[in-house]
Each structure stands twice: as structure tokens, then as C-alpha cells.
Amino acid sequence: MDADAIDRVAVIGAGSMGHGIAETAAMAGYTVSLRDVEADLVEAGVERIAWSLDKLADAGRLDEDPEAVLGRVEPTVDLAAAVGAADLVIEAAPERLDLKRALFADLDRLAPEGALLASNTSSLSITAIAEATARPESVLGLHYFNPPVKMALVEVIAGEATSEATAEAGIAFVESLGKTPIHVRKDVRGFVVNTVLGPFMDEPAWMVSAGETTIQAADAAMVHERGYPMGPFELGDLTGIDIGYHVRTEAGRPIPPIVQAKVDAGTLGRKTGAGYYDYEDGDGPDYEPADAAGFDTLRVEARMVNEAARLVGDGVATPEAVDTGVTLGTGFPEGICRRGDAIGLDVVLERLRSLRAATGEDRYAPADSLVELVEAGRTGVAAGSGFYEYDDGTET
């Protein structure tokens, strides 16, 4: 299906992501069916859309009357009615593969033959979801970031069977919303943004667990010395420590002891009143610039650059797509490929090799593509090329 043929969108799931996705589509002029399993859930989603539209109008960020936009949202609990005339279906159900596969089997049966079926999953396999249908070539990932109305980025993910036409239609649809798509060309766990973000959260947790540093030192160094908008522990408290925990367990990755301890204790961050920081009896994140002294930021960033190199080398995404993803999706001060070029890819590689030799941990294993760049002399800005080409220190 060509993106120009998309007129009606169905969003399945009216929770925090679903109603936000529906709002962005309605704001772009699409007629949107918003469906959930219970009427009160749908009603709550519509109420949140109405509240958001009023706020946008008050701020001068809405081009038409809020009621006109809201009038394009059609609430329902009937799945067949929601998707029966849809050109694009976007699923925003809970992150359980069995649930999504069952839902996509129903969507395959109920949606028109030419409709595109998309999942908003942030970590599950698009290929595995698509296998529940008889049209895997028409299934793709559209991973919005929270909150969808404010965040500019959408990852457009191709499963193993997703056709190029489907991916192109997804990209064009995202652009029609006034948002920026990045094309994730292979279905890898975590896609692009969460793949790079993983070590940002993970490595400091291992360092604190080993008694090598403190929570405050890690957050202070990454924010005040390296310019990230939040420290890794501060971010973990905001998103929910259990969220990252479940992503790690689903991927079969080892859990840092400090993360396991927080999950076991039920202190999961802001939503429980305490996590890495105390939000009830304390002031929340209490780090100061001086706390950063001695923290090894290169150890964290080397792993992030390594994951970016793996994505690029495996043909998952271009350096431009990776960097667009992490700047728009996480607020990083610059793209991680650019940062790697500035640090020096040879410096990154040497740090990874020394860490692996000292610990034996596979998380430090250098990506083949990183090794190839360094061996080819493409070590970054100082060498005139790395992920990018440079002329006198300036990207060309």
C-alpha cells in the first residue's frame, strides 16, 4: 500500500501510548478508530486526548479547533468495527509476545486485505509477531516514543518478511505526522535507540554493584561532564527500574545486582516513591557536579559506541539513522557515532579490549565492524574519517 492511500487508521490499545498515537494521527487529519477491551479504558483515552488537545490549543500549537480534531477519533470496544475499514492498524497493547501474536492473528482475519499492520512494541520481534499472520510482508514496527505527541522520533522497523513497499509506506506515514522516521532495516532486539541506550543504563549498574563507584558519581559525570540530559540512575527511576529489568530478562542478559535488589525490594523508582533515589522522604536525585570526580565515562561510552558500530556493520541502520535516533529519542547531546569519532575509535577499541581482558565479560567484546574501521585507519575526526568523513576536523 502506498502511504497516500492511508485515510483511516485504527489504534488498538487506549493506554498512555495508544491514545497518544491516536492523537497524533487525528492531528494530521486521519480518521482514527481507538479501541480497547473495556469501554472505560477507551473513554479514559478519549478524555486524555481532549485534555491534551486543549493544552496544545492554549499554547498555540494546534492549527484547528480541538473539537474538530477530537471529532476524527472514533472510540469503540469492537475490534472488527475498529479495523474493518482501516488502511493502517497500529497495535499498542502490553509488551507480551503471546498477547501480540494472538491479537495480530485477529487483525489478519478482520482487517482489509490491503491494510498494513504495525506494532508499537519497543523490544519484541516484529518477525515473530508477523508470523501470526498470513501477510507478514505487510507487518512492520512503528515504535513511537513517550509521549507520542511531544516526541519527534518514530522507529520504522522491518521484520524478516516486511516488504520494501511496506517499510516505505510506514516512513511516509510517519513523515505525514510531522515526525522524523528512522529506518531500522533489520529486526534486532531493542531496535536502534534502546540498543544504544542499554549500556548507558547497564554499565554504571555493574560498576556500582562492584563497589567501583557510586550512583551519584555516575549520574553527575554523565550529566555534568558528558552532557547527557539525565544520569543513568536518574533515568532508571523515571522510566521504572522494573522496565529495564524485564527487558534484560527477556533477552537472557545478566542482571546487575543493584538492579535485582531494587526489583526484589519493590523500590522501582518514582512510581513507588523510591528507587535509586528517595522521592518521599528525600529530594530525589541529589548529585552535584563535584560528585563526578573519578568516574570512568569512557567505559560507558565505549560500550555505547560499540553497539552503534554493531548496528551499522550489521546493516541494521546507517550512522545517520543511529545518531538521529539517539538525539531525538533520548535527548543525547550528539549522535553516538559522532561522539565515537570525536573520542577516537581506536581509543574506544583499546578500552573495550582491556576491559574484556581484565574481566572476561562478553559485554566488552568488540564488534567486528569497529575492529574493521580501526584497522582501515578510520579512527575518527583526527584521522579524517570514522563513521563519517571529515575535512580538517569538520564533517563533510
Q: How far is CA 168 from the centre of its chain?
A: 20
Q: Which helix (H) or strand (E) holds 144?
A: strand 139-144
Which pLDDT value is given to residue 123? 84
Contact of 189 with 181, CB cutoff 8 Å: no
Mean per-residue pLDDT, 364-381:
98
DSSP 8-state code for residue 275: S
pLDDT in tens, 6-15: 999 999 999 9
**How far apart are alpha carbons 126 and 212 in whole angstroms?**
38
Say yes or no to pLDDT of 25 above 80: yes
**How far apart are alpha carbons 20 and 11 in whole angstroms?**
10
Using left for φ > 0, alpha for ψ between -120 and 50, and beta otherwise, residue 86 falls in beta
Q: Which residues pair with 143 in a beta bridge?
A: 155
298-395 has CATH 1.10.1060.10 classification? no
Q: Which helix (H) or strand (E) holds 75?
A: strand 73-76
Domain(s) labelled CATH 1.10.1040.50 in the chain stretch across: 193-296, 298-395
Using left for φ > 0, alpha for ψ between -120 and 50, and beta otherwise, residue 28 falls in alpha
Q: Which residue has the cell 495508544?
A: 18
At 5, the pLDDT band (50, 70, 90 cuts) reads confident
- Burial string for 113-135 (b: 16+ CB within 10 Å, else e) reads eebbbbbbbbbbbbbbbbbbbeb
Amino acid at 144: Y
> Average model confidence (pLDDT) for the chain?
96
At 251, the pLDDT band (50, 70, 90 cuts) reads confident
CATH number of 3-184: 3.40.50.720
pTM given for the model = 0.93
Q: Which residues pair with 140 in a beta bridge?
A: 118, 158
Say yes or no to pLDDT of 394 above 80: no
Say yes or no to pLDDT of 220 above 90: yes
Say yes or no to pLDDT of 327 above 70: yes
Which pLDDT value is given to residue 365? 98
Say yes or no to pLDDT of 231 above 90: yes
**How far apart are alpha carbons 219 and 235 in whole angstroms?**
9
Domain(s) labelled CATH 3.40.50.720 in the chain stretch across: 3-184
Taken in order 239, 119, 198, 325, is the CA torsion positive or negative? negative
Contact of 74 with 33, CB cutoff 8 Å: yes
At 120, the pLDDT band (50, 70, 90 cuts) reads very high
Query: Could you give the residue numbers annotated as active site?
Result: 122, 143, 155, 194
Q: What's 193-296's CATH class? A: mainly alpha
pLDDT in tens, 269-297: 999 999 999 999 898 999 999 999 999 99
**How far apart are alpha carbons 21 and 100 in whole angstroms?**
17
- Judged on CB neighbours under 10 Å (0-12, 13-18, 19+), 362 is exposed
Q: What are phi and psi of 153, to 5 degrees?
A: -95, 140
The three-point CA angle 168-36-41 to 5° equals: 130
**How far apart are alpha carbons 285 and 218 in whole angstroms?**
12
**Three cell numbers written together for 200:** 548507558
pLDDT in tens, 191-214: 999 999 999 999 999 999 999 999
